[in-house]
Structure 1
Amino acid sequence: MRFSTSTLFQAPTSDRPHFWFGLFALVAAGLTVGQDFLHATYHAYAFYLSESFLFSSFWGLFFPLLYLQTHLARKYQTRNGRHVGVMLALVLLHLALAPLVITVLSGMLLDHTYDYTTGLRYTLAEDVYKCLLVYGLAAWVHVCDRSIPAAAARTTEPQPVQRLAVGTGQKTRVIPVEDILFISTERPYLVLHTAGEKHLHASSLTQLAAQLDARQFVRVHKSTVVNLKKVVSYQSRRNGDYDLTLQNGAVVRMSRRYSGDFKARMG
C-alpha cells in the first residue's frame, strides 16, 4: 500500500487529480489480484482471475469517491469539521456501494450471483480499516494543503519600510523613517519633516502611507501623516479640529475626520 498512499498525497495538489486517483485505484486493484494469486498458490487451491477482479472492484470505488472528496474539500476549505464529516460519509458510502457492485458484476459476468448481504459482510470484515485509512489520509492532506499556503501568505506580507530615499540636488540620501516627525504634501512631491530638516520625496501620500508601519504613522489630514512617537500633545480648536504639537515644537493641524482614528491609536 505504500505506493497508493504516496499517490494519494499528490492528488490534492495535482492539476489532474483524476489521473492520480485512477492510477491509485489501478495499482491497488492489481496488488489485490496479485495477493490473491500468491495466497491461492501458497495454500494450493484454485485461483479464479474473474472472481479476484470482482472483489478488487472495491478499489475502483476510490476513483470517483476520492475525486468527490477533493471537490468537497475545496468547497469547504475553511471548515476543518466539514472534512471529518465528509470523510465519515464517504467511508459509509463506500462500504454500502462495494457489495452492491459485487452483486451487479457477478450477475453480469459470472454464472452465479453474490447476494448483497454476503458482499456486505465480507466488506465489513475486510475493508473498513482500508476506507478509514485512505479517506482519513486524504482529509488530513486536504487540511495541510490549504494551511501551508495560508502560512506562506503570512510570511510574505510586505514589511513596513525602514528607510526612505530622498533627493538633494544630484545626491540621494537615505533617512530612517524613525527620524520623520510628519509628512506633508507639496505637489508634486512629499515633504518629509525631520528635526530641523525637510526632504523631498517623489511619491503620493497614499502610496507612502501604505508602506509605513500603520502602528506608528497615522493620517491626520488629507495632506498630512504624523509619527505618533513624535507627538507631544494635542489641543482642541473647538470646531472639531485639533492642533498637534511635535517634539521639535512644530504644530500640525488634525482634521476632525481623522481625529477618531488618531485618538484610538494614541490610546
Structure 2
Amino acid sequence: MSKEIQQKKTRIKATLKYLVVLVLILLVTIFQDYLHSRYNDYSFYASESFLFNTFWILILPVALILNRVFSKVLALAKIPVLLVKRLLFVLLASIFHMLLFAGLVHLVSALFYEHTFTFLRNLRYTVSEDLYKYLLIYSVIALVLIRKKKPIKEEKSNSKYIDQLIVGSSRIKTAIKTSDIFYIAAEAPYIAIHSLDRKHLHTATLKSVLDQLDPEKFVRIHKSTIVNLTKVISYKSRLNGDYDIQLSNQQVLRLSRNYVDNFKHRFSALQSS
C-alpha cells in the first residue's frame, strides 16, 4: 500500500471519528434541552434545539481557520510571547465564532423557520449562555495548536568535509582549495593532487583523502583515481564498459566500469542541483 493511500485512509478515519463525536455531542445536548424543558415545564422543539446547538459544529472550522490565519499573517506569526499569542487566539476565535454563529442561526431561521431569530438577539444569547464555553474550548485548542516553535537549526551542508588540503613537507606546507582540484591519482608511495597549473605530491592514501572530501563533488572513478565532478565536462563510452571523462582543462581520465553507476548518479545529481 502506497504512502499516499495510507495518508488518505488516515484522514478519512480521523474525519469519521470527528463526525461520530460531533453527532454524539449534538444528541446529548438536544437530549439535555429536552430534559430542561420537561423540568421547567415548557414546550420542546427539536428543530430549534438542533439549530442553536450548531454552536458545536462550528468549533473545528473556526479553529482551523484561525490557526491558518495565525500561521500566514506575519504580524500574528511573529508574536514573541507564547501566552499573549494564545490569549489572542482564544479572543479572536471566540469573537469570530460568536459572530458566525449569530449570523448562521439568523440565516437558517429566516430560510427554513416560521420565526426568524435576529442577528443581535442571537449574539446576545450566545454571549450570555455560551461565552464561558468559547473561552474554555478555545483555550484548550490554543494549547494544542499554538506552540512555541523550536528554532530551526541551519544545517550546514557538508560541514564535516574539508574545503582545503594541506600538503607538503615538514618545512613547507601548501594549502590547496578543494574547489581547485581537478583530480587525485595514486603515485606510490604518494598521491598526486592535480590542480589547474601544477601537481602536488601528498603522503596519504586515496581512501583517507576521499573520506574528507564532499561526496557530492568528489567521486572515485578508478581504484587509483578520484575526480572533482565540478571539473567534468562530459564522458564518453569506450564500448567495453569503461568510459573516458573529459575535464575542463582538457585532461581525459578513464572511468572504470566498476565505478560507472556511482559516477553517473553523482554527476546527474550535481547537474540537477
TM-score, with structure 2 as normaliser? 0.46
Query: Which one has more relative contact order, counting CA pairs under 8 Å at least 6 apart?
Result: 1
TM-score, with structure 1 as normaliser? 0.46
